[in-house]
Amino acid sequence: MTLAGRGAVVTGGSRGIGLAVARALAEAGAAVVVAARGPDSLEAAAKALCAAGRRAWAVPCDVADPGGVRTLAREAETRLGHVDILVNSAGISHSAPVQKTTLEDWQRILTVNATGPFLCTQAFLPGMLARGWGRVVNIASVAGLGGGKYITAYSASKHAVVGLTRSVAAEVAGTGVTVNAVCPGYVDTDMTRQSVSRIAAKTGMS
């Protein structure tokens, strides 16, 4: 498969699943904009892709900020010319029993993990529809298909991502734009290791 001539945006693209996706897209020939909150790791990710002979740019963005997402869309269009592929991979985790999950924790997780993909989809979908081709891929989780101990907010946020995916996919059916979700299990990333460590510390399990 070749993605030569395609422009892609990957949120959460500075590490973990997002970085792996950005690398795969670039290796397939796409020009890639990686977006994340941390500027240092973000620049390092883009430089690593460029060092491998790929076309990549870093654009700092907090996907929970509507203004930041609008800026990302403008910057991506400027660098890529057009955005054909959007991968919503930015996300955060939280591990705590439901009675110890604060409203602030709940809102923060839902805003980044669910509102972020919503805002990014809103920002990039019009261009895809106008061109009659596009791919939106949301990184959800098996936690968005079931549930689990100590991940109430995270699981709820990923259920929201699955619902968002299904609804938008139905809206754009037949337009040349597809919307899908990937629901990984445990993947060896920094976020997973931190989550497992928090649960182990609170429960004594290993």
Amino acid symbol at 176:
G
Largest Cα separation within the chain, whole Å, is 54
By the 10 Å C-beta count (0-12 exposed, 13-18 middle, 19+ buried), 179 is classed as buried
Whole-angstrom distance, CA of residue 31 vs CA of residue 25 = 8
**Of 150, 154, 155, 177, catalytic:** 154
Q: Which residue has the tokens 């895809």?
A: 128
Residue 150 among the catalytic residues:
no
β-sheet with 7-11: strand ranges across: 56-60, 31-36, 7-11, 85-88, 134-139, 177-182
The residue among 14, 36, 21, 57 whose CA lies nearest residue 139 is: 21
The count of C-alpha atoms lying within 13 angstroms of the C-alpha of 190, restricted to the half-sphere facing its C-beta, is: 11
The residue among 80, 94, 52, 82 whose CA lies nearest residue 191 is: 94
Catalytic residues: 154
